[in-house]
Amino acid sequence: MKFLFLIPLCVWFIIQWIKVLIDYTVEKKVNIASLWWSWWFPSVHSGIASSICTLVVIIAWWQSIEFAIAFTFSFLFWYDAANLRYEAWQHASSLNQIQKELNKSTAHLKERLWHTVWEVIWWILAWVLLTLLFATIFMN
């Protein structure tokens, strides 16, 4: 149980490599820089929060103050992924349209920053299962 902090780090690592695979699928080329980018899918923040929340349930159970704290902070990340980032996408999209209409050749803002509620729920479940898998490996 000494190295439990490695579990969310392993989840982070998997999430980042999924981004590389998605980039490869879309762009048809490997882009290692994707490992460090903060972009749309899957959400690193939500993944790490889900992993930590799952670990707290395993160790301290549902009715602990630790779980209450972990869940509350996780919920903030999940909410941000599905709502606040949507608004940022709307702003970026509008600004890009204005730049296009004014024929400005400045940098294009990232538009796909957000996640749907269902994407967030799907990925929470995926990260919980991945955390459980890593927990069986690290905790035995």
Which tens digits make up the pLDDT trace of 76-86? Answer: 988 888 787 77
Which tens digits make up the pLDDT trace of 16-57? Answer: 888 888 778 877 887 777 666 666 566 788 889 999 999 999
* Range list of H helices, 37-116: 44-60, 65-79, 85-101
Taking all residues of the chain, what is their mean pLDDT, rounded to a whole number? 83
pTM of the model: 0.77
Can you give the residue ranges of every domain in the chain? 6-138
Residue 1: its pLDDT value, please?
63
